[in-house]
Amino acid sequence: MARLFGTDGVRGVANADLTAEMALGLSVAAAHVLGDAGTAGHRPVAVVGRDPRASGEFLEAAVVAGLASSGVDVLRVGVLPTPAVAYLTGALGADLGVMLSASHNPMPDNGIKFIARGGHKLADDIEDRIEAMYRAHASGEPWERPTGAGVGRVREHDEGFDQYVAHLVGVLPNRLDGLKVVIDGAHGAAARVSPEAFSRAGAEVVTIGTSPDGLNINDGIGSTHLEQLKAAVVAHGADLGVAHDGDADRCLAVDAEGNEVDGDQILAVLALGMREAGTLRRNTVVATVMSNLGFKLALEREGIDLVQTAVGDRYVLEEMKAGGYALGGEQSGHVIILDHATTGDGTLTGLMLAARVAATGRSLKDLASVMTRLPQILVNVRDVDKSRVADCRALGEAVAEAERELGSTGRVLLRSSGTEPLVRVMVEAADADQARSVAERLADVVKSELG
């Protein structure tokens, strides 16, 4: 039986894979596991938020019903980023948080992310307990249901927006006065939050992708589609642009000339600033194995240590907590600044990057030049059996041959997506044509052997 929880919650096509019944049942299970629902003398509280997807409306109703029917008091914070729900879960002393979002996925998809006390992501064993309880109930095992005054109460927590924005602005090391910033909200959860935070911090703000209608989230815009942001930055003569994904837990940037600044470059810029400020604990950055080789070489040159993890911001976060590190993230723009957030926070990342530009008086292009990105080709191979990647002998031999060809100037990485039915083939090399040739050759092997 396939596991419901992926690398970032339960995700699927809304009303097909992810139904109202499933959302209700998972929420009841989460209430018992995370909220100690049914424990004498304890009245648990949950914070519930969502991104603007149309399906989030009925899924939110199901989640709220499941929680309240289990004796959990619910604070509905409305459309807010995932990191905002995580922050409010901690700041309000709630027992759990629930975010309805499929992040950068297309509009028909949606997802449920459960957040533990303090605003932290769930460990695998906690997700397994929730799933086991959900499946037991689906098989006919009855729940303990409160009645009368024991049922949960539901109220709007409209103050959440201002609380979160005030937190973001309050942790900045300096203001952004004099900067012009274009913000791409992906027609998603950051559409209101990010422009407001940048404005309160002193920046002149131009916006695109900030008119969500429930159907246009991530549609040709946002961190996975930077073309409009690049054009807007140049057209408005802005100092930089910031792009979010649907739930705003990631951030990519664009410099004044319209060049992309990816998560690796953002991490490098922030690392140098934090070291200068004395806040880069243990002089270390945590990143994944997908980070560009140029990032690793830049940190080595600057005398900063790098710890690498498996792909996924949850693994970065686990390593940061275990090692006592302050900064980590992914090339995709998930950046975790652990002194100020419990998870990747795209708005916070963008603010901190802009603050570094303002403090130094240097352009983003100049700051980002601390590292040189080596050519990196990523090919997504769909409709294959991703579970066989590690055990396929022919594929292993093809990878070994490619590694011999690239030598010390490149590398190969194959991984199964945790959220989509595909295998990712990544090849780095000093020469772009060589990287592309090797990647396409390996992709053909994946198709023929795993298709």
Which residues are known binding-site members?
Answer: 103, 245, 247, 249
164 alpha carbon, distance to own chain's centre:
17
Active site residue 101: no
Residue with tokens 């024991």: 150
Catalytic residue from among 103, 194, 223, 416 = 103
Binding residues for Mg(2+): 103, 245, 247, 249
Q: How far apart are CA 34 and CA 114, in angstroms?
A: 9
Pairing type for strands 204-208 and 180-184 reads parallel
The residue type of 259 is N
Residue 158 backbone phi and psi in degrees, to 5:
-65, -20
Asked if 365 and 257 touch (Cβ cutoff 8 Å), the reply is: yes
Backbone angles phi, psi at 165, to 5 degrees: -60, -40
Active site residues: 103
